[in-house]
Amino acid sequence: MSSSDSNSSSIQQFLGPLYDSLAKDAAKWRTTKDWPASSLSLCGRYGLYRGLAGPTGGLTDEQSSDQDAPWSAVDQIETLIQLAKADLLTTFVITQHLGAIKRIEASDHDSSVRSNHQLHHDTLTSLLCGDQIASVGISHLTTSRLHLGRPAVTATPESGGYRINGTIPWVTGAPKVNHIVVGATLEDQTQILVLLSPSSGGVQPGPGADMIAMSASCTDSVVLNNVLIPEDRVLSGPRGNVLSHVSKPTRPGESTTGAGGLQTSALALGLSYAALEYLRDESVKRENLVGIVDRFEAEHRSLHVTIRDAADGRSNIDSGKIRSAANGLVQRTTSAAMTTAKGAGLMIDHPVGRWCQQAFFFLVWSCPQDVANAHLCDLVGLDS
């Protein structure tokens, strides 16, 4: 066993009790009143956010200590798989938290200004230890509401900062988080990224949308009415396509904890593993399931290796193909679990019903159009 394999094994062994605790509480997170604060706090105490944030835990080399041993990209992707297997709801919130950390860490806006530098350092420190939770509101810069022909969130320069107005269509933890990284568009079509406090004047977060799954993530829109953004809370810009200027990965797979991409496929695989484990347990009592479980296990092993290799930079497989495979697998495995559970699976307190509902989430969340098209073609037996 190589030293890297040994380190990865040690990380997963250390996190084992965390996964067990998350799985035990996963059924609690059902409605918008069930924000998973205790699970998020526990993850912080285990050092999860620092490990998943990157080579130096979101801090510069000078700010991090010698004891902050970096997790490899494979460590990160493996942890996401196991987290999603234990509790997809909390893991989804964590992905948004990590997305905010990475945007703050990558800030390139006047970092020489002491107040700006200190604010970002203090904020990162709180986010990395889990004392505070952050989220992102940037989908409107790339997908959501672009069809309307006008920016969802606008920014107007003024002395000492900006005024922002509009509606952020989707923010996970909208009424619960401490910070939101928000994208806004200026009159000349350049863009800025800013760090927003939901408690600021003029910020009106929704209570959380009621959905068939993931309601406890408290995902909702946030209305912005003439909100003042001081200069020291600007993370990047103004410039065209501000999201493209976030620092590029410096090692294979470093972007695995960003939105979309391998991260989402890893979460789908993790949820699928939860359903597979149920099927495996049932196969001990029901011989007709043995061959089915064997086939599913082979698929899971193959996809697991593919995702790990992609994270480690050892695979050239298109991320869209990996996502299609993960989406398809989680739909089929959870459906098989429901078929096996029969009527019991439809009961509100049965985990199989929750997994089936959560599987639908992957047909929507950060799902590229080519992946969606491939899924539709597969449903009717057409070549995509």
Enumerate the domain spans of the chain: 3-133, 135-245, 260-380
- What is the rounded distance in angstroms from the CA atom of residue 372 to the CA atom of residue 267? 17
CB 215 within 8 A of CB 38: no
CATH architecture of 3-133: Orthogonal Bundle (1.10)
Mean pLDDT of 229-249: 82
Mean pLDDT, rounded, of the chain:
88
The pLDDT value recorded for residue 183 is 95
Least confident of 161-175, 206-220, 312-326: 312-326
Q: In terms of C-beta density within 10 A (0-12 exposed, 13-18 middle, 19 or more buried), how is residue 216 classed?
A: buried
User: Alpha-carbon dihedral of residues 130, 81, 170, 237, nearest 10 degrees?
Assistant: 70
Q: With left for phi above 0 and alpha for psi between -120 and 50, is residue 139 left, alpha or beta?
A: alpha
Domain 135-245 has CATH 3.40.190.10: no
Buried/exposed 23-32: b ≥16 CB within 10 Å, e otherwise: bebbeebeeb
The pLDDT value recorded for residue 247 is 46
The pLDDT value recorded for residue 63 is 43
The pLDDT value recorded for residue 109 is 67
| pLDDT classification of 368: cutoffs 50, 70, 90 | confident
Residue type, 266: A
Does the pLDDT value for residue 5 go beyond 70?
no
- What is the rounded distance in angstroms from the CA atom of residue 219 to the CA atom of residue 124? 22
- Please give the CATH number for the structural domain made up of 260-380: 1.20.140.10
Q: Percent of the chain having pLDDT more than 70?
A: 86
Tens of pLDDT, residue by residue over 25-45, are 999 999 999 999 999 999 999
Pick 112 or 232 by higher pLDDT: 232
Does the pLDDT value for residue 56 go beyond 60?
no
Mean pLDDT of 161-178: 96
